[in-house]
Structure 1
Amino acid sequence: MRVANLAGRAVLVTDGTAVDIAEASDGQFGPAPLAVFEQWADFTTWAQDAQLPAGAPFDESDLLAPVPNPSQVFAIGLNYKDHADESKLAYPDDLVVFTKFASSLAGPNVTVELPSEFVDYETELVVVIGAETYKVDVDEARASIAGYAIGQDYSERMVQRRGPAPQFSLGKSYPNFAPFGPAIVTLDELDDPDALRVEAVLEGPTAEDHGGSWQVQNGTTADLIFPVAQIIADLSQVVTLRPGDLIFTGTPAGVGMGRGIFLKAGDTLTSTISGLGSITNRFV
């Protein structure tokens, strides 16, 4: 299944068409996107056997954040060895955790206003939780996953790195600094949920010396230092994960700071994860 947020209502997306979940279920699920994840087990049981009506075509510009109001947003730092290497930092022995404040969440294809000349990109797999989860092991953690989406962890590096202590969460939480989508994809839709190709292509002024189009990131989630189920299990030893919670799982090498570049007005970044689709952000 692919669950999206179309103009504020939960929908199932198939082949460029959308079915309104609340209408198809006679009001049993939705219409608020978060409500679907709060009833995730019952919803998936219903969806397996439901006789859905024909979907309606939709405009991708109407897609909003698949979960616009999660109770918690977690982000994991330094979770790919190649990214730790380019950052000249040691591989972590434990999860490096911060948050992106919920006001930074946005739909998949938003325009991002650059607050400074020091904004960076980080393409990430986003995990959506489908069950309340506390103190679970790795096997139990897998069962709590509702699905995956594509996310961007944009960062204003000067705010993030200013002293006396780093301000990770603040520097990563400007408006539209956490776009994600286009839909939440259940793991049964993916050939290998543990090995997804993660790519980012930058076009515009910053890519001018590369013919106008530059593949700046190309990695795989198979290289995560802490795989998805381990992230969930480790987080759950401290916090209670709730339905609809988001986890940004880290980024592979190729971020701007590692390349000595930052985003400029007129740039466009397209982030792609195999099986999940693509999201595109423009910068002004």
Structure 2
Amino acid sequence: MSALNLRLSRWAERLPSLRPSLANLRGWAVPLALLLGLETLVRSGILPAHQMPAPTQVAQTLFHLAVSGELLRHINASLLRVAGGFLIGAGLAIVIGTWVGLSRRAEAYLEPTFQALRAIPSLAWVPLLLLWLGIDETPKVVLIALGAFFPVYLALLAGIRNIDRKLVEVGQLYQLSRFALVRRILLPAALPNLFTGLRGALSLSWMFLVAAELIAATRGLGYLLSDGRETSRPDLVIAAILLLAVLGKLSDSLLKYWETRALSWRDSYQGGEN
């Protein structure tokens, strides 16, 4: 009886560690149900295969692209563009957002212009960037950087302006320099908002990638979308969309992991079980 109790206690100790894996499995329920439903509808003839290919056909297309080496080239091109644009846009947004958050004078000069630029659709930048920068990699990276800039800038500005005034007064009481005030009080207090902006910017970077790769690109996931449309291959279009979704999710999960590590000091509400 004691041996049985010992085993039960060990299983009880392991149950909390199993909860994250069970939560991850729940996340697969909706995608798998959608794939199974689409496969059934296409195979039964309810959905025409020339408009919506079966998931198995999309899997075959991805397999052929992977075997030929073409898939890796497209993914590498898109990843490099997103990484470059995101780092440039987010880096500039952190610097300028901090400056505007600290200075009312800078806000008076820059905020109206930034709000006007933010309202410009991504595709509206394409012809201007082509005229200015040609059809090389530069306009693609710049377009993605534009998409990444504004979510980080707005989130960081809101985070700094929503910091409790008493924290700033404590820093001034201890005679912290302006740089020390930013590094030790303002940026740590604004980190939750900053990570929210970074995740939104990363998502927009993948969206702007498609517009960027319509600029005379010969490789990349956006090019695959365009190629599938021009050759009337819906399987290629769906394959490119799935790859964008998977890569976007993986990059967001990586950023979310860094967010969890950086904000481990927070004792925030995580939601209920139901």
Structure of greater relative contact order (alpha carbons < 8 Å, 6+ residues apart): 1
TM-score normalised by L of structure 1: 0.22
The structure with the largest alpha-carbon Rg is 2
Higher helix share: 2
Higher strand share: 1
TM-score normalised by L of structure 2: 0.23
